[in-house]
Structure formats: C-alpha cells, structure tokens
Amino acid sequence: MTSTAPANAPDWAARFSDRMARVRASEIRELLKLLDQPDILSFAGGIPDPDLFPIERIEACFGEVLSDPAQARQALQYSVSEGYLPLRQWIAERMTRDGMPCEPRNIMMTAGSQQGLDLLGKLLLSVGDTVMTARPTYLGALQAFNGYQPEYMDLPEGALTGEADAVLAARRPAVGYFVPDFANPTGASLTLEERQALLDLAGRLDMTLIEDAAYRELRFAGEPLPTLLALDIARAGSIEAARTLYCGTFSKTLSPALRIGWITGPAVVIEKLVLLKQGADLHVSTINQMVAERVVSEGYDQHLGRLRAAYAAKRETLLAALDRHMPAGVTWTPPEGGMFVWLTLPEGMDGKVLLERALTEERVAFVPGAPFFAEVASDNCIRLSYSLPNDADLEEGVRRLGRLIGRGQESARASATTVFS
C-alpha cells in the first residue's frame, strides 16, 4: 500500500538516500496482508506453528528471572553488544558438538537471524559488489542486502562441477549466500557433495560464504549433514581461518517474538560486527536472552523432538494430498525438514495469476515463486508452507488448488493458450 501525502508535504522521495532506490515493499507481502479473512485456507504464512511454542516453560523462566531481585535488575538493564555470555557459551558448546568447534568470542547475538543478514550486508558489501545466491533464494535476505546496493548473480548451472568458472571469474562474486538445510522457499537441502563443491568454489573465487541455518534443527527425515561452516573448519583447521559466517536463530524452535539469533565466525569478524550492532540497536533484549538461556538449558532436545514429529506429520499429510489431487504436469520434491514444499507448475502457468484466481475462486492462498529469484525469475512456481494448517485444511486446501490448476490446464488446452500467464 502506498500512502498519499498532502500537497504541502515535503517531497520525501527526492530526499531519500540513493540506497533506497532498491528498497521497496514486496508486492507479494502486500497482497498477503489481505489474507486474514477466516474462510481462506492459507499455505502462505512461512511461520512456526504457535501450538508448538513452549509457552509454559517460557512463562516459568520469565517468572524465575523476574522473581529473583539480582537477576531482575540485570535482566531489565542495558547489556553488552556481544550478547549474554551464558547463552553464547551454550550456543558455542552446541555448535561444537555439531562439528563447528568455536568459543563465545566467535558468537554475537542478533535480533533474529534477519538482523544478522543485515549486519553482514553492512559489513561485507560495497556498492556494486556481487552476491551469489541459490536460484531461488530467501526473499528476506535479498531485502536485507538490497540496502547495500549489491548486484545479484544466480548460482550458475555447472558452478559446482567447475564448468562455469569462466562466467564466475568474470563476475567475481564477493559473497555467496546459501540456506543449505531445508531452504526457504524450496524446502531443498544441499547434498554433502554440493556442500563440498560450494566450498571448493568459494576457495577458487576467494568468496565469503554466508550460511543461513534458520531451519537446521528441524530435520525429520534423512541423515544430518555437516554445515558449510563445519566442513570449512575441517579444511581450514580452525574457525579463525574459516571463510564461512553462520547465522543461527531460535525463531523456528522457541519463538520468533523473542527475536534471538546469532552470527558465528572468526573473532576478527565478530569484533567488527559488535561495533555495527552497537550502532544499530546496542544489544538484543537482555531479559529475552536470559530467559532463552534458561529455556534451552533443560529439555531442549525433547522439545525439538516434539517439533520435528509435528512438522513431519504435517508434511506427510501435505505430500499425500499432493499425490492425490495435483494434476499431471505439477512437480515437487519432498523436503527432509523445515516448513516448505516448492511446486513447479506446468510450463506457462504464472504463480501470481494463479494466486489471484485461487483467492477469488477457491479461497486458498500460497506465495508465488517469482519474488524469490535474485537475478532471473521463473514464473511457474509457488511456495506452500505446511506449518500452520491442520490436517483437514491441508487436505482441503490442496484439493482446491489441484482443482484450480486442472481447470487452468483444461481451458488452456481448449483455447491453445496459457490461461494463468
């Protein structure tokens, strides 16, 4: 929605900085704001299921912190920009067990991993630098980086097999941004070979890697794979020699409202990030960090077990419904974790046009795929999130969507055109 200003208002557009040229509301986010109507079955919201928030435990931990006067005074006070030390210690130990030996000095807490992406953009990107991303990639990362005026480059075909080195050498990406586990929007993960090849490529190009691990803890199928940072540390000998900067978050496992994420990387990088964090907002909420540390210090793995089982069950329901209701020509790949399934529609069918018709004709919503592409977009894809709907709505929503896509295919055949383009 664009606001209108009175005639005597200053011409703000002319006063905004150059960097605002790329900072725009996403059409899709604007459209999705209209989806609150109760009769719409929505696969759009890529957010955690609130039924899975550990509400009682969070309530108890707030109570414990606030009922102890010494802790309460600390919890409600300003604190260091690096973040609450006991929480950073807990994260360092957990990451060390996950193959990423590191210490608290390698970790800075951020207001969600989204702020981590913004601060990394600020730290690493000069105007015109090239960021390489998967195709498609996380829209929020593009929004975070846009303010630093980079160019984007899709990971080229053959990049991981060394066949695109000439293209890559010409464009010299400074930064590569990847979500190796259960990516948003595709739900797809990089294989071990792809992770190794990505590190080889980063080495050949002398490129910094940003690893976004937002969904890593939500694996419910297949074997866990080492993170890019773990493989990087194994090659380089220590985190201090690694080129990968890792963004973690408690948003998908505890609660996004706590706004607690972190960046893990070499101490020299963390020291600079701390200066940027100071300038941005001083520190993450002290009380939220203290509460989060208490929450995760007991029973976190059992809690994760419950989350994984719940999302696995929802995924099963969605996949079974897709098998039952999607017409031929629609394809998808089952994710091994996370919250998303990516549908490729028949060639020529436009996800955005499909959404408009889905809303009016079938009262069903999802996110069209095109905005998730950094460089060259594909229109015939959509993102389905299965985190929020219950089983009955997953089934019914897919039935309606399949019916609509089928109608589009039929009328396209009848008129020898594409209906949803």
Q: How far is the CB of 184 from ligand PMP (least distance, A)?
A: 4
**Interatomic CA distance for residues 189 and 307, integer angstroms:** 19
Going by their DSSP bridges, the two strands 331-332 and 340-344 should be labelled as antiparallel
Residue with tokens 């329901």: 317
Taking the least distance from each CB to ligand PMP, the nearer of 212 and 362 is 212
Measured CA to CA, the distance from residue 268 to residue 105 in angstroms comes to 9
- Between 373 and 420, name the residue whose CB sits nearer to ligand PMP: 373
- Residue 259 or 294 with smaller CB distance to ligand PMP: 259
183 vs 326 by CB, closer to ligand PMP: 183
- Tell me the H-state helices in 3-46: 12-15, 27-32
Tokens 């383009």, located at residue: 421
Taking the least distance from each CB to ligand PMP, the nearer of 367 and 405 is 367
Nearest-approach distance from CB 306 to ligand PMP, in angstroms: 20
Closest distance of CB 258 from ligand PMP, Å: 9
Nearest distance from C-beta of residue 256 to ligand PMP, angstroms: 4
In the complex, least distance from residue 321 CB atom to ligand PMP, rounded to whole angstroms: 23
Shortest CB 189 distance to ligand PMP, Å: 12
In the complex with ligand PMP, the residue whose CB is nearer, 54 or 256, is: 256
Task: Output 116 or 402, the one with its CB closest to ligand PMP.
Answer: 116
Residue whose Cβ sits closest to ligand PMP: 112
Task: Assess contact for 78 and 286: CB atoms under 8 A.
Answer: yes
Q: Which residues contact 350 (CB under 8 A, 6 or more apart)?
A: 368, 379, 380, 418, 420, 421
In the three-class reduction of DSSP (H, G, I as helix; E, B as strand; rest coil), residue 242 is classed as coil
Identify which of residues 207 and 213 has a Cβ nearer to ligand PMP in the complex. 213
Minimum distance between the CB of residue 46 and ligand PMP, rounded to whole angstroms?
Answer: 5
Distance CA 364, CA 244 (A): 40
Are 330 and 357 within 8 A, CB to CB? no
The answer to whether 179 and 134 are in contact (CB under 8 A) is yes
Backbone torsion region of residue 208, taken as left when φ is above 0, otherwise alpha when ψ lies between -120 and 50, otherwise beta: beta
Contacts of 92 (CB under 8 A, 6+ apart): 102, 103, 104, 106, 107
Q: Are 326 and 406 in contact (CB under 8 A)?
A: no
Length of the chain equals 421
Bridge partners, residue 247, by sequence: 212, 263
**Considering the complex, what minimum distance in angstroms separates the CB of residue 372 from ligand PMP?**
11
d(C-alpha 224, C-alpha 336), whole Å: 10
Query: What gap in Å lies between CA 316 and CA 314, rounded to an integer?
Result: 5
Binding site for ligand PMP (CB under 6 A): 46, 112-114, 138, 140, 179, 184, 212, 214, 249, 251, 256, 261
Q: Which is nearer to ligand PMP, 112 or 173 (CB)?
A: 112
Report in angstroms how near the CB of residue 208 gets to ligand PMP at its nearest. 17
Q: Name the CA radius of gyration of the chain, rounded.
A: 22
Distance CA 152, CA 144 (A): 13
